[in-house]
């Protein structure tokens, strides 16, 4: 049989009805309406009301102190006519659930020594007496019994997590249940940047604003879940374009507040690594990860996904994808340049022109063993084309594209494999949009096979920027029992990879 009452979060408009019960239950001890109003609207407060039909029959409130993992039951009042029905227990149960969701480990309350019925209820919910305050309730001089319940911090096994990604030009919303992918919807503003030959931050930020809601709704529909089933929200808060990141961060916080669910601020780069979990069920560590996209070129040593990610190298100028985009422009090819160059290179000779390999000379390798530089290569291609043009010769686009691609791939793979060998890590994981490059996959596979290194390349839809990878990290954090991020974190365009979660 369903319960005759409905419980929901208290609103300001409940104040009058609450005050009536307050007076009925507590008489001269009753709080003032102003005091109650502050309780209902306080930041860390969680007040519930129970209605039977149109009439308010009970309310209860919790004060949360998540930073010290504690909460206090502030009040609980049930109209005399509704007592003995299990409503008090139901309300207490809701408060304890909220305390658990807010990572509170201890919940305290005070109860009158002359109220054995209430004490019995609290005991049955796991509360124990820890103190007594003599003559606490005045004017009748009744003692207060202080009770505490210690909540199990046992984390959720298979949380339903929604992930939001907006660090560059893809608006991504992903939904996972534990390690299982349910939806991965991406809306890209790439077309809007095409005429500029690269991502324009303001255009990207505006596009995120427009795409966010439709992308969210599509993801929910694909995953066949509703918003109120979501256990936690995760969002990439950096690194990336500040204005673009802010859109996702704002959306995630609003959702978390509206749904009253925890929010986890997650590192975008770590998302690229963690996405492997969605295909394999877990991430094997240690692993070297090579992340190459229009925004980043990073080599990571991942000893532990949540606690030990180290940046061992990165580009000192252009990102690999950016180099593809810029060289495509020099060759008169469209944006994004990667796929265009890949196509043109298919018919070209990769050894036709020996383009420079950045930071590969012995003297550079001393200081920049795992770092990358593509701007010299880009300039070399531009000069090559310029010389041919001034001589009035045709530019062999296929050969230039193939030779350029070979130089990029050679450097990327050589440095990634060096990292594996030097650190004795027999695993290499690839991520980022440039992984779509056919030659990169081929050379990486070949050289990994030679060295006995296991190569992992997630599906392309999980390699490019997406919300599923952010949801995947969020789920890992929830399952590891990590505290949510709170609401004060911001977008951080230069977030270091060592910060897996921002608090």
Q: Which is nearer to Zn ion, 322 or 465 (CB)?
A: 465
Q: State the residue number with the nearest CB to Zn ion.
A: 465
| Contact letters for Zn ion, residues 461-480 (x by CB under 5 A) | ----x---------------
Q: Where are the alpha helices (DSSP H) in 371-458?
A: 375-390, 397-422, 438-451
Q: Which is nearer to ligand KG4, 9 or 194 (CB)?
A: 194
Beta-bridge mates of residue 147: 109, 129
| Helix, strand, or coil (residue 20) | helix
Q: Work out how close the CB of 445 gets to ligand KG4 at its nearest, in angstroms, rounded to a whole number.
A: 16
Whole-angstrom Cα distance, residue 337 to residue 329?
Answer: 7
Q: Work out how close the CB of 465 gets to Zn ion at its nearest, in angstroms, rounded to a whole number.
A: 4
Q: Which is nearer to ligand KG4, 145 or 266 (CB)?
A: 266
The partner in contact with residue 107, picked from ligand KG4, Zn ion, none with C-beta cut-offs of 5 to 8 angstroms by kind, is none
The partner in contact with residue 239, picked from Zn ion, ligand KG4, none with C-beta cut-offs of 5 to 8 angstroms by kind, is none
Q: Work out how close the CB of 432 gets to ligand KG4 at its nearest, in angstroms, rounded to a whole number.
A: 5
Helices then strands, counting H and E runs in the chain, come out as 17, 18
Q: Which is nearer to ligand KG4, 399 or 465 (CB)?
A: 465
Q: Which is nearer to ligand KG4, 5 or 324 (CB)?
A: 324
CB 53 within 8 A of CB 91: no
CB 345 within 8 A of CB 337: no
The partner in contact with residue 437, picked from Zn ion, ligand KG4, none with C-beta cut-offs of 5 to 8 angstroms by kind, is ligand KG4
The partner in contact with residue 324, picked from ligand KG4, Zn ion, none with C-beta cut-offs of 5 to 8 angstroms by kind, is ligand KG4
Q: Which is nearer to Zn ion, 102 or 267 (CB)?
A: 267
Omega within 30 of 0 (cis) for the link into 286: yes
How many other C-beta atoms are found inside a 10 Å radius of the C-beta of residue 492? Answer: 18
Q: Work out how close the CB of 287 gets to ligand KG4 at its nearest, in angstroms, rounded to a whole number.
A: 19
Q: Tell me: does residue 293 bind Zn ion (CB under 5 A).
A: yes
Q: Which residues bind ligand KG4 (CB under 6 A)?
A: 168, 293-295, 321-322, 324-325, 336-339, 342, 432-434, 436-437, 464-465
By C-alpha distance, which of 413, 434, 315, 417 is closest to 373? 315
Buried b (16+ CB within 10 A) or exposed e, 29-50: ebbeeeebeebbeeeeebbbbb
The interface region with Zn ion, picked from 59-67, 108-116, 291-299, 316-324 by CB under 5 A, is 291-299
Q: Work out how close the CB of 272 gets to ligand KG4 at its nearest, in angstroms, rounded to a whole number.
A: 8
DSSP string, 158-226: S-EEEEEE-SSSEEEEEEEETTEEEEEEEEE-HHHHGGGTS--HHHHHHHHHHHHHHHHHHHHHHHT--
Q: Tell me: does residue 188 bind Zn ion (CB under 5 A).
A: no
Q: Which is nearer to Zn ion, 14 or 465 (CB)?
A: 465
Whole-angstrom Cα distance, residue 264 to residue 278?
Answer: 18
Residues at the site binding Zn ion, with contacts judged by CB under 5 A: 293, 465
């Amino acid at each position: 049989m369903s319960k005759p009452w409905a419980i929901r979060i208290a609103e300001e408009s409940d104040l009058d009805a609450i005050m009536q019960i307050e007076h009925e239950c507590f008489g001269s001890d009753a709080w003032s309406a102003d005091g109650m109003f502050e309780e209902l609207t306080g930041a860390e407060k969680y007040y519930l009301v129970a209605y039977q039909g149109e009439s308010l029959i009970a309310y209860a409130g919790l004060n949360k102190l998540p930073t010290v993992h504690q909460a206090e039951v502030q009040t609980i009042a049930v109209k005399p006519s509704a007592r003995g029905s299990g409503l008090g227990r139901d309300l207490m149960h809701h408060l304890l659930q909220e305390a658990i969701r807010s990572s509170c480990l201890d919940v305290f309350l005070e109860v009158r020594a002359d109220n054995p019925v209430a004490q019995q209820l609290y005991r049955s919910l796991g509360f124990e007496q820890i103190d007594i305050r003599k003559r606490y309730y005045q004017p009748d001089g009744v003692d207060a019994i202080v009770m505490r319940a210690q909540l199990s911090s046992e984390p959720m096994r298979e949380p339903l997590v929604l992930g939001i990604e907006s660090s560059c030009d893809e608006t991504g919303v992903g939904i996972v249940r534990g390690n299982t992918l349910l939806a991965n919807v991406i809306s890209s503003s790439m077309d809007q940047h095409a005429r500029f030959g690269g991502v324009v931050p303001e255009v990207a930020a505006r596009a995120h604003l427009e795409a966010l809601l439709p992308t969210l709704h599509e993801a929910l529909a694909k995953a066949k879940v509703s918003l109120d089933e979501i256990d936690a929200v995760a969002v990439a808060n950096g690194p990336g374009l500040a204005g673009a990141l802010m859109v996702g961060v704002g959306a995630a916080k609003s959702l978390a507040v509206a749904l009253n669910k925890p929010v986890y601020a997650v590192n975008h780069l770590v998302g690229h690594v963690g996405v492997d979990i969605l295909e394999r069920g877990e991430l094997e560590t240690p692993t070297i990860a090579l992340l190459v996209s229009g925004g980043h070129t990073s080599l990571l040593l991942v000893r532990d996904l949540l606690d030990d990610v180290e940046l061992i190298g990165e580009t000192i100028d252009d990102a690999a994808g950016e180099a593809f985009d810029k060289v495509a422009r020099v060759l008169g090819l469209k944006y994004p340049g990667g796929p265009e160059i890949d196509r043109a290179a298919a018919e070209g000779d990769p050894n036709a022109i020996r383009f420079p390999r950045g930071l590969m000379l012995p003297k550079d390798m001393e200081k920049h063993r795992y770092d990358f530089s593509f701007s010299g290569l880009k300039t070399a291609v531009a000069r090559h084309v310029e010389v041919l043009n001034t001589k009035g010769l045709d530019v062999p686009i296929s050969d230039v594209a193939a030779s350029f691609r070979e130089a990029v791939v050679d450097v990327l793979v050589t440095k990634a494999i060096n990292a594996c060998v030097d650190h004795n890590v027999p695993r290499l994981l690839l991520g980022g949009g440039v992984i779509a490059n056919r030659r990169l996959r081929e050379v990486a596979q070949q050289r990994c096979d030679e060295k006995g290194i296991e190569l992992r390349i997630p599906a392309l839809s999980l390699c490019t920027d997406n919300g599923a990878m952010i949801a995947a990290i969020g789920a890992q954090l929830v399952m590891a029992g990590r505290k949510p991020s709170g609401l004060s974190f911001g977008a951080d365009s230069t977030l270091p990879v060592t910060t897996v979660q921002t608090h």
